[in-house]
Amino acid sequence: MTNPDPPRIWHAVEIVADAELADAVGAFLLEHGAPGLQTEDRGAGVAVIAHFDRPGIADDLDPFFDHLTTNFPDSGRPSARCFEVEEAAWEENWKAHFPPLAIGTRLFVHPPWIADVPAGRIGIELDPGMAFGTGQHGSTHGCLAALDDLVTPAAAPRVLDLGTGSGILAIAAVKLGARSALAVDIDPLACEIAAVNAATNGVAAQVEIATTLGESRRDFDIVVANLFSGMLIGFANDIASRLRDGGHAIGAGLETAEADGVIEAWTAAGMEMQRRYDVEGWSTIVFSASRPAANNSSAET
């Protein structure tokens, strides 16, 4: 009788950082070969966890944190923990973090290992290992709820998804009835992932993916932007100017305490507050461009 193979070991790295550093931390981990990321809201910050099939990233952490401290002087220095996880425990942990989610009245976001979509719901299949945007985060959840309220096949809106990540919002918009979605992300890796997810969900033909907003059209029916509050303020005029009169803008990625600043900036840009969703400490705001949209652009992507 031979000995069974020893269990496979994953080398985990957990970085806890201020929320505004989460994108940079995720990019760093993916650049070092992480096959996927797990994020957890830790109240005062965000934990980004990655599992590698080999050790070796630990030596690069301090120089990376030095770089962050120089470039983001207002943020605290992140902390890190490296540990080993056996394959079976890793799989169970991974799956436990991504239960399927029914959102709004129509959506059902599920990982690939859950095949059954409840009757009457629209399935969005996402591989959570791939990029920010699995619906588990309160900001994504709020945007999906807002899209569920706004998008119908009869209205067939044109949608702009600014900061698409996994592509979840653009994909959901099209599956809810949008005629098309432009999915923009500054991160080329996120764009690749969004393209894969759009294909998996059978909506590649209706989802256009780009790394810049550029000179895209100025008559979107819906703009959805799940970014950070400072970026939502910076993009206020640009978002307003890309909405047709009477269209809607959905903004998320702001902790509830930050909502007032974004509401003020979006109101100043000529849009009107309609609705607000608060999910687990994260606010999602819905505005309408009921007055003619502003034309000056104040932020670049």
Ligand X SMILES: C[S@@+](CC[C@H](N)C(=O)[O-])C[C@H]1O[C@@H](n2cnc3c(N)ncnc32)[C@H](O)[C@@H]1O
User: Which stretches of the chain bind ligand X, using CB under 6 A?
Assistant: 23, 132-133, 140, 143, 162-165, 168-169, 184-187, 190, 226-227, 253, 301
Report, in Å, the least distance between residue 35 CB and ligand X: 17
Nearer to ligand X, 200 or 290 (CB): 200
Report, in Å, the least distance between residue 39 CB and ligand X: 9
Nearer to ligand X, 18 or 82 (CB): 18
Report, in Å, the least distance between residue 150 CB and ligand X: 15
CB 297 within 8 A of CB 238: yes
Report, in Å, the least distance between residue 137 CB and ligand X: 6
* Strand pairing class (243-255; 272-279): unpaired
Query: Of 186, 168, 170, which Cα lies nearest the Cα of 110?
Result: 168
Name the strands in the sheet holding 9-17, side by side, starting at the edge strand that comes first in the sequence.
Answer: 38-41, 46-52, 9-17, 79-86
Nearer to ligand X, 85 or 248 (CB): 248
Element housing 221 (H / E):
strand 220-226
Report, in Å, the least distance between residue 164 CB and ligand X: 5
Nearer to ligand X, 6 or 43 (CB): 43
Report, in Å, the least distance between residue 4 CB and ligand X: 40
What does the block give as tokens for 178? 């949008």
Burial 281-298, CB ≥16 within 10 A → b, else e: ebbbbbbbbeeebbeeee
Nearer to ligand X, 148 or 185 (CB): 185
Report, in Å, the least distance between residue 59 CB and ligand X: 26
Nearer to ligand X, 184 or 262 (CB): 184
CA-CA-CA-CA torsion sign (138, 28, 97, 201) = positive
CA-CA-CA-CA torsion sign (32, 6, 128, 65) = negative
Q: Return d(Cα 268, Cα 265) in angstroms, integer.
A: 5
Query: Of 126, 152, 153, 154, which Cα lies nearest the Cα of 140?
Result: 126
Q: Return d(Cα 253, Cα 230) in angstroms, integer.
A: 10
Question: Could you give the angle at which helices 188-200 and 168-176 cross, rounded to 10 degrees?
Answer: 30
Report, in Å, the least distance between residue 229 CB and ligand X: 11
Nearer to ligand X, 9 or 19 (CB): 19
Nearer to ligand X, 23 or 125 (CB): 23
Q: Return d(Cα 221, Cα 205) in angstroms, integer.
A: 19
